[in-house]
Structure formats: structure tokens, C-alpha cells
A and B are shown apart, each in its own frame.
Chain A
Amino acid sequence: MALLRLPSVFQVQTGIWHRVVSTGARTRRVRIYRFDPDSDRNPRLDTYEIDMAACGPMVLDVLIHIKNEIDSTLTFRRSCREGICGSCAMNIDGVNTLACTKPCADIRGDVRIYPLPHLPVIKDLVPDLTHFYAQYASVMPWLQTRSPAPPDRERLQSKADQEKIDQPSACILCACCSTACPSYWWNSDRYLGPATLLAAYRWIIDSRDEALGARLDALEDPFRLYRCHTIMNCTEACPKDLNPARAIAQIKKLMIERRS
């Protein structure tokens, strides 16, 4: 059996231990991955002791507390702080999720926070999403039509047709699903991954879209679509309770249907 280990420059080393001065009854240890792109040092794991009585309940509250009160160099993405924008996706307690909707109370022991896995790290908890966004753009995630628009109204659809796109439209592009997928870890250069395929599906089933054939053609490829092996980590990880695995299965079904 091959022995796999990280090259030495990637190995995470023990970092700084920030102790609280007065230890309250509700002190918790938070361990955070740090990477400083300006130095040639290895990434490290810093430890912060946090008095939870002085801090909000969510993991994002803890990160903001640390940035405000202990260490202003700690770097992470955040915006809406209510699970809408998808900015603060990270790996918390071994699971990809949104820091803003993850209560610390749901975590036993130390709170361990890493960037989303298998993406290049720009700094601390900020991964490089350039490739992820390029894949999203590649499925042309907008309405494509050939027929002229009605002169006097919008392009309408029935309530039943609208409900089909309800769920897939609710994706916030946080990338929790794609970066939880082992197939994506191995083949993200060519496999589109669950988030992008969910976006593709959202337009494939939109009754107003008129590019179904071209959309399916673009996915008919051993890697782009068929690297999905139904592992289901995507659906497990989605912080919005969406089902990318089902969407991918539906696309595969449409592929078979149009062949027969």
C-alpha cells in the first residue's frame, strides 16, 4: 500500500496560543488554520481561547470576535451574516458549512476551522474560487431563447413549472458541496462538480429556456457530468438543504431519455 503524505511545505504546524486573561465558565478553544502568503512559512494552526459569554452563538460570531478583540490579521470572507450570500463557507468541525448559520453549541470539544478543502488557499480561511466561478460561467447560467420575447409582457410560466426551479434556484454558490466531493477533489480540472451541475440543471428544466439540446450536449462528456459517482457528500453538505445529487441524477436520466 502506498504511503501518502503532504509535501513538507504544506504540513500544518502548531501555531500561536492566544490565552484568555480571565477564564470564564464558558471558555472554549477555537483552532484556526492560518496561512500567510507574504511569508515562506508553512501554514499553522492557531489556538484561541474564547469566553463565549462575550461572543455571539455562531461560528462567524466567534471569528468576528477574534478579529475585533484578539487578532485583526485573521482573514475570512463574510457578508450577509444570515445564510443568504454564501460568502463565509468553510470547513468547521470537519464539515463544509456556512460559519454564519453554524452554532458553536452544535460542536463538541474544540471548534476546528479550516478553509474549504481542496482549493488553493489565498490567505487563512480564504480559498481561491476563480476556477469554481469559471466552471459556473461555463454552463451559461442565464435564460437562453430563440423565440422573440412577447411585446407586452414577461415570459410567463405555470406555477407547477416555477416550482421545479424553486429549489435549484435557491443555491447560493457557497461551494460547500463541490469541495466536499471526492470526485471533485480528484478531477476538478475537468469534472464540473455538484454546484455547477445544479446550476446547469436549474436552466435545463426551466420551461422558458430554449437551449435544452445545447445544454445537454455541453454536459455529454465522461468528465464534466459522469464523474459523479453518487457519493452524495454534496447533498449532505448543502447548508441550504438542497439536493445537488438528485439534480445530477436527473440530468443523467435526461441524457438516457434523449438517446432512446
Chain B
Amino acid sequence: MSAYPLVDHTYDVVVVGAGGAGLRATLGLAEAGLATACLTKVFPTRSHTVAAQGGISAALGNMGEDDWRFHFYDTGDGGGMVLRAGLPLQDMEFVQFHPTGIYGAGCLITEGVRGEGGFLTNANGDRFMERYAPNAKDLASRDVVSRAMTIEIREGRGVGPEKDHIHLHLEHLGPEVIRERLPGIAESSRIFAGVDVTREPIPVLPTAHYNMGGIPCNYHGEVINPAGGDPDAIVPGLMAVGEAACVSVHGANRLGSNSLLDIVIFGREAARYCAATIKPGAAQAPLRKEVGELAISRLDRLRHANGTRPTAELRLQMQKIMQSDAAVFRTASSLQEGVARLARTIRTLPDIGVRDRSLIWNTDLIETLEFENLLLQAITTMHSALARTESRGAHAREDFPNRDDGAWLKHTLAWVAADGAVRLDYRPVHLATLSDDVQTIAPTARTY
């Protein structure tokens, strides 16, 4: 590939992505004296932990003799990289919807608002959460509140001219509490909804927020790829942390601030584990000659993609499919349709068109690389959700409304072949704690 002059760099560890977990890992690795490169698409201080785009922070260490890492030469999206390398993603059917995104804009209003006493109402002014969750009410978990809001809207009790959203009230809290404890909320609401939160409610709607699923890994951050009858077999030298990873501490659901665990525990642990297992500057096996060629050829193919379908058009198509067929509520028929429609989108990929051919700040190309990654993950979500014939955590099947621990207390694993074909398998859930200090709690039905 003489068209692309390449410069090789050697590091003890390469961290791909500078989200909170990736940065925490990088800090620990540097402290331990390991030569560390942190690759990021956005300048690191641009507050990823607030501006998170979801699922792009993956850490990658070269701890073993194996050279899996050499397949991962893009700086692209962690989940897409893993799938292209023939590794599985785990539990991709569990997508969290945040209940209170600003209507129209999608910016999130923290549940701290409801923690401070804010509440939701429908078109009749009813505090409807009292019916769905008599004890927790507006503080029920995100999936419960999102489903309740969706039902209220679906049954014609949404607010606004289209009856398609819900009101979030904090007028009664008083300007002092809002200013001191909910900084930013008043500002976001004013800018994006034109609302003065001290006088009127905020229009809100459930908004896709977080992937519980991701790259399966153990509590050290080592990536798992079941092999030879061992459901916990690891991929030597490859680690994942942050939203890209699925350590599955929280299972099929999550609460606000759970992501901080990815930073303060798993970001730190990934660095500690690397420091304990890698010697700074240790000799590394030479790269195979063809290493990196896959990534370069992918870049070259898309950079010169000459088709008739702009990336934005196919991306919008994918977004619409995910919105209509894998939303807050799912059924076999919606998911089957989603599987078929996504397969059609994949078949149109050879006709994708990129117009910017430059190697300087080519966002047309970057968005296309990102779109391919997103599409791979979208099909794992759709297939995994169709197969899981129960409701659990954030995965709500209207045709299978109950949780079924007998059949489904297990992780989904999804592999995607080059032609888009999906293979599913399952691995057991670790339920026992690693410590004798606390008792293992058996799973029970959730009530609010």
C-alpha cells in the first residue's frame, strides 16, 4: 500500500478511546511506568464523561504472546473492531432508555431532578408514576419509568399538540434549590426547550442512552471469547473497559452513576492488572507483515467508495429501523421485521458513496467508518433481542412479559460474519461475589 506511508510506533500498552474509563486506565498505566498511547477522536479534556457518545472507549493491552491486537489498527469503534476480528459482543439486546431527554433535542435531564423532588405528569396532569410504581413512584428505575411514559403516550395521554411527550416538573422546588443543586438543568431547558424551569414544566421523552451490552470481559478487563468448553476463556493481550465493555456487574439494567464504576474500579483495575503483568519496554514479537493491511484496505475502500447512497441516508435508515423495531417495547414481529430490514441495509452497503477523498480531516470518511461499526452492532442488538423470549431489565417483550430465570438467566453472545450473518450462543452468568465480606444475593423479581 505505497499510497499510504506508514510510521510504526511501539508501546507497552495502547488505549483506544479517551472516555472516563480509558483516561483512568491511561493515568494508571503511565503511573506504573508503562509506555502508553491513548488514541482518541475528540480532544481528551472535552469531557467525554458528560459528552459521551457511547461505546467507543475500549482499552487494549498487549499482555500476552498472542497478537490479537494487530487486528485492531483503526481508531474506530470498539464494538465494531471486536466483531470484525471475529470476536463476540455480549448482551446487546439490553439498551437503556433514559426517561427524560428534552423533547426534540434529546439532551438529557438528570434524574437528580426527580431525586430532588421533581415529578412527571401526563396530559391530564396526573402523576402517573404513582400507578406504575406505588412505592418508588418517579424514582423507579429508568426502564420502568421509560415504559410507563411510553404507555401513557401510546394510550393518548401524552402532552403537547401531537400528544407525543410528557411533562417534567420542578417549578415547586424553588429557584434556590434549582440553582444550587441542579446546575445546568435550567440552562439546558432554556436553550433547548425554551422553558423557564422555575415557572413551567420541561417537555421530555425517553431517549436511547446506554448499552448494557458490549465486549464481554472479566473483572480485570480481559476480553472473553469462549473456547474449548471454557465459557470464560480470555483473549490474551486484549482488554476492554467503559461502555464498550460488558463486565456485567449490573446485568440487564443499570442505574444512574453506574458508569462511574467503569472509571473508578475497572479503569483503575485494567491499569493495575497491566502493571502487574507487563514489564515496561519488554521485547515484543515482531508484527506480521500483513498486519494492518486489513484496516488500511478498509479505509481505502471506503475513502474511494463511489456508490449512489450517501452515508447519511443509510445511517438514517438504520436509525429508523432501530427506533421502530427495537424500541422500549419489542415483539417477535417487530424484531423479525427489524432483522429483515437491517439485512436489506447491509445488502446496500456496496452502493455506499463517500464524496470527500481527502486525507485531511475527512469527516465524511470517518462518519462512514463509524456507520459500518454502528450497523454491525445494531444487527447484534436486533438478533439478540429476537432470540431472548422473555422480559428482563431493559429488554421488554410484549409477547413475553415475564422474566424466565429457568431458561434465560444467561448471557447472549453474538458474532457477525463478513456478510452480516449473525451467530448466537450463550454463556452462564457469574452470580457469586468475589468476597466473603458480603453474601451473594439470589436474583428476585423487581418491585417498585
Binding site for B on A (CB under 8 A): 36-38, 56, 67-69, 71-73, 75-76, 79-87, 101, 122-124, 126, 129, 133, 172-173
- CB-based contact A85/B51 at 8 Å: yes
A134 to chain B, nearest CB (A): 12
With beta carbons under 8 angstroms apart, the residue of B47, B312, B361 that contacts A72 is B312
Residues of A within 8 A of B356 (CB): 72-73, 75
B43 within 8 A of A: yes
Instruction: Knowing A72-B312, A86-B46 are in contact, say whether A80-B360 is a contact too (CB < 8 A).
Output: no
Instruction: Knowing A85-B46, A87-B42 are in contact, say whether A123-B358 is a contact too (CB < 8 A).
Output: yes
Residues of B within 8 A of A173 (CB): 43, 45-46
- CB-based contact B51/A79 at 8 Å: yes
Cβ contacts B161-178/A at 8 Å (1 or 0 each): 000000000000000000
A72 to B354, CA, bound (A): 8
Residues of A within 8 A of B191 (CB): 83, 101
Residues of B within 8 A of A79 (CB): 42, 46, 51, 53
With beta carbons under 8 angstroms apart, the residue of B47, B355, B362 that contacts A84 is B47
A83 to B358, CA, bound (A): 29
- CB-based contact B51/A80 at 8 Å: yes
- CB-based contact A122/B188 at 8 Å: no
- CB-based contact B42/A84 at 8 Å: no
Instruction: Knowing A82-B105, A82-B188 are in contact, say whether A69-B47 is a contact too (CB < 8 A).
Output: no
Residues of A within 8 A of B43 (CB): 87, 129, 133, 173
Binding site for A on B (CB under 8 A): 42-43, 45-47, 50-51, 53, 104-105, 107, 187-188, 191-192, 310-312, 316, 354-356, 358, 360-364, 367
B99 to chain A, nearest CB (A): 17
- CB-based contact A82/B192 at 8 Å: yes
Residues of B within 8 A of A172 (CB): 46-47
Secondary structure class of chain B's binding surface, majority of residues: loop
Residues of A within 8 A of B354 (CB): 72
Secondary structure class of chain A's binding surface, majority of residues: loop
Residue of B nearest to A78 (CB): B363
Residue of B nearest to A122 (CB): B361
17 A-B pairs within 8 Å (CB atoms) are namely: A68-B312, A72-B356, A72-B367, A73-B356, A80-B46, A81-B107, A83-B188, A83-B191, A84-B51, A85-B42, A87-B42, A129-B43, A133-B43, A172-B46, A172-B47, A173-B43, A173-B46
> 5 closest pairs, A vs B, by CB?
A80-B51, A68-B312, A85-B51, A82-B107, A85-B46
A124 to B358, CA, bound (A): 13
Beyond the given A37-B360, A126-B361, please list 12 additional residue pairs across the A-B interface where CB-CB is below 8 A: A71-B355, A72-B312, A72-B364, A73-B356, A79-B46, A80-B50, A82-B51, A82-B188, A84-B47, A123-B358, A123-B361, A173-B46
Residue of A nearest to B52 (CB): A80
A124 to B364, CA, bound (A): 13
A129 to B46, CA, bound (A): 13
Instruction: Knowing A80-B51, A82-B192 are in contact, say whether A87-B312 is a contact too (CB < 8 A).
Output: no
B185 to chain A, nearest CB (A): 12
Residues of B within 8 A of A56 (CB): 104-105
A69 to B105, CA, bound (A): 19
Residues of B within 8 A of A73 (CB): 355-356, 364
- CB-based contact A85/B50 at 8 Å: yes
- CB-based contact B360/A122 at 8 Å: yes
A208 to B414, CA, bound (A): 49
- CB-based contact A69/B46 at 8 Å: no
A101 to B50, CA, bound (A): 16
B264 to chain A, nearest CB (A): 12
A30 to B213, CA, bound (A): 41
Residues of B within 8 A of A36 (CB): 358
A42 to chain B, nearest CB (A): 17
